[in-house]
A and B are shown apart, each in its own frame.
Chain A
Amino acid sequence: GAVVSQHPSRVICKSGTSVKIECRSLDFQATTMFWYRQFPKKSLMLMATSNEGSKATYEQGVEKDKFLINHASLTLSTLTVTSAHPEDSSFYICSARDSWGNTIYFGEGSWLTVV
């Protein structure tokens, strides 16, 4: 079964609203999680590194005020897309590194559609 769970798997929201996507490690503690974005038929691009108890580290070109990342516990990181626009429509996928730093687990991904 999945060891990293994302919720929701699909979400449709209206332009101008905010939407939150959760990434949860189910049976291990993850001090570090990663958020990726994938446009249709494109590669996965790292958006940010989420560290438990501290601010996320964003990749160049990613708007941190637009994509709010919170990693408040050792098993949960959230990505909030604020004031969503249709161009934010994408597939968002998270990954988590186990505490020993040996293994990376990916979530199932979340399809976001902004209408």
Chain B
Amino acid sequence: AQKVTQAQTEISVVEKEDVTLDCVYETRDTTYYLFWYKQPPSGELVFLIRRNSFDEQNEISGRYSWNFQKSTSSFNFTITASQVVDSAVYFCALGSRGTSYGKLTFGQGTILTVHP
């Protein structure tokens, strides 16, 4: 069975602080995908990143960066110089490849609040 754990239920920071959201996963699949989504209060899921399990390169996109460590089954997400608009719930998710692609297991989510 697949499992995703986001140990941080809530994080509160002040604007311009850096913040890291942790994600640890379990899977028996040898290849898989990892995702991060942002969910604002309106509810829709905003796609942030998809990472293939055989690509361990870290990625940076503007103020966002992701650190994938296959050896520790972690896929952490860092927001640099946080802004109030970053306040949302962030979900890490794990998905299989192949015919089951699209069937995601989500973590519990981390509520991020950025104060002005």
Contacts and interface: CB of A to CB of B under 8 A. Distances in A.
Contacts, number: 49
A43 B37 CA distance: 12
A44 interface: yes
A44 B43 contact: no
A97 interface: yes
Most buried by B among A49, A96, A104: A104
A93 interface: yes
Nearest to B33: A104
Contacts of A32: 102
Interface in B72-112: 91, 95, 101-109, 111
Contacts of A104: 95, 101-102, 104
Contacts of B101: 97, 101, 104
B44 interface: yes
Contacts of B109: 42-43
Interface of B: 37, 42-45, 47, 91, 95, 101-109, 111
26 contacts: A43-B91, A43-B107, A43-B109, A44-B91, A44-B104, A44-B106, A46-B103, A49-B103, A91-B43, A93-B43, A93-B45, A95-B102, A96-B102, A97-B101, A97-B102, A101-B101, A104-B101, A104-B102, A106-B37, A106-B45, A107-B44, A108-B43, A109-B43, A109-B44, A109-B45, A111-B43
